[in-house]
Homo-oligomer: A and B are copies of this chain.
Amino acid sequence: MSARAGVLITGTEVLSGIIADRNGPWLSERLREIGVDAAQIVIVGDRRSDMLAALRFMAAEGLDVIVTSGGLGPTADDLTAEIVGQFCRREMVLDTALEARIGEILAPMLKRWPGLDPEAIRHSNRKQAVIPQGATVIDPVGTAPGLVVTPARGDGPTVVVLPGPPRELHPMWAAALLTEAFRAATAGATTYRTRILRLFGIPESAIADTLRAASEAGIDLDSLEVTTCLRRGEIEIATRYEPAVEHVYDAFADFVRRRHADSLFSEDGSTIDEQVAALLGGRTIAVAESCTGGLMAARLTDRPGSSAYFKGGLVVYSNDAKVALAGIDPDLIERHGAVSTEVAEALADGAIERLDATIGVGITGIAGPGGATAGKPVGLVCFSVHERGGEGITRSVNLPGGRVDVRDRATVVAMHLLRRLLLGSRSPEPARGERRNEKSRCGSGASPE
């Protein structure tokens, strides 16, 4: 029986959508890595009764560990330490050593913000040194200490209390793992393996079909935990299993590989961004983009070290900019329209030329909600990826969704075209039929459910 955990995210600003929670899923993943199953993530506001009810729900579910995030700050609505103390039936006490430690942390900060009243700040932060008696303290990365609190009567889950800011949460989670209290609570956890397959260019229902066929072919999918999801136009098949059934996973992966050879682009968890970066192999890249408005350049520079291959980008939002910056012939725009495969090709060439790059990417399209014309609907995006003096791929695709979706999805399509181009010498260009097919696939409104 493996250890099970719950994640409790607190904060009215998270519950109400003012900020998006990234900590719940992050903690869930980290728990899985150490063989602890996250049974649920619960998000509650900064309300005493709701926080306590959520903790008691998790205890009633028989969970071994609860990890909380948030509610450790200096303001009065930060209640987590106190509520966890109540839940674990431990008295709240001022830890004077901790108070001194927080004082040390605040000292340089106070110097940097000379306008603040030091006494008011110290008062705000003294609260952060009041903790459940007997709790293990995790040294603050910001000003808020973490806690590992065991139940006073020995029954019930151990609670790991961590701050909300990811920059503090991440290192403090690593420190919490090393505490005696946490180890005791998760002793005997099974270690699972998680493997991810990524596909591009097929609908999720085709994967549902493949899962059924795999079962029918005798692959024991019940021994694996298979999850499929559509994410930014790519399908991810995440599979978690105990090491003993590795051979079942191998058979399953092989089955998927044989049915979806054209679509399967990652078997080792690598992302399309990682693959493109690796495939460049010394070549340099430049972008001239219109409807994506800088997102393609931003995506290519998202990775540390991208300055080794990314030369630069032209965000040619207006026709004037297309002409002045990317050197597009105004007649070409006049003849074919700014959103056309011809202009996309000229943009890719312009990027190569102006930025002295080996590879150019051109993107022009209609992100909406305005800008559609007869025959050119919102979502139409034209792409061209070219190698200087070499091969090139040009496509016109109808992307589903609103402005945000179209802009984001366009960068996904461009990344996959880049991968195809970079693999060019190793993999054959697709046949005409496949090309047409690929076009319509991108335009499908297939449900991501």
The answer to whether A40 touches B40, judged by C-beta atoms less than 8 angstroms apart, is no
Q: Which of B26, B354, B368 contacts A304 (CB 8 A)?
A: B368
**Shortest Cβ distance from residue A260 to the other chain B in the assembled complex, whole angstroms:** 11
A179 within 8 A of B: no
The answer to whether A440 touches B209, judged by C-beta atoms less than 8 angstroms apart, is no
A256 within 8 A of B: no
A21 to B28, CA, bound (A): 13
A46 within 8 A of B: yes
A430 to B356, CA, bound (A): 42
A225 within 8 A of B: yes
A18 to B39, CA, bound (A): 15
The answer to whether A447 touches B168, judged by C-beta atoms less than 8 angstroms apart, is yes
Task: Name A209's closest neighbour in chain B (CB-CB).
Answer: B120
Chain A contact surface mostly: mixed
A78 within 8 A of B: yes
Task: Name A111's closest neighbour in chain B (CB-CB).
Answer: B440
Find residues 38-63 in chain A having any chain B CB closer than 8 Å to their own CB. Answer: 38-46, 50, 53-54, 57, 61
A247 within 8 A of B: no
- Size bracket of the A interface: 35 or more
In the complex with contacts A13-B238, A29-B16, A317-B311, A449-B165 CB distance below 8 A: yes
Inside 8 A of A343's CB, which chain B residues have their CB? none
A48 to B407, CA, bound (A): 37
The answer to whether B205 touches A116, judged by C-beta atoms less than 8 angstroms apart, is yes
Inside 8 A of A53's CB, which chain B residues have their CB? 57, 61
- Determine which residue in A13, A76, A164, A204 has the highest number of CB atoms from chain B within 10 A of its CB, and name it: A13
Q: Which of B38, B109, B317 contacts A444 (CB 8 A)?
A: B109
- Determine which residue in A294, A300, A369 has the highest number of CB atoms from chain B within 10 A of its CB, and name it: A294
Q: Residues on A close to B: CB < 8 A? A: 11-22, 24-26, 28-29, 32, 38-46, 50, 53-54, 57, 61, 70, 72-78, 109, 112-117, 120-121, 124-125, 142-144, 163-165, 167-168, 194, 196, 203-209, 211-212, 225-229, 231, 236, 238, 287, 292-302, 304-307, 310-318, 320-321, 324-325, 354-356, 368-371, 400-405, 407, 437, 440-441, 443-449
* 24 interchain pairs, CB-CB under 8 A: A13-B227, A17-B24, A40-B45, A57-B57, A77-B226, A77-B227, A112-B443, A113-B441, A114-B437, A116-B209, A124-B205, A124-B209, A144-B449, A167-B402, A287-B294, A293-B302, A294-B295, A294-B297, A294-B298, A295-B298, A310-B317, A311-B318, A312-B321, A325-B354
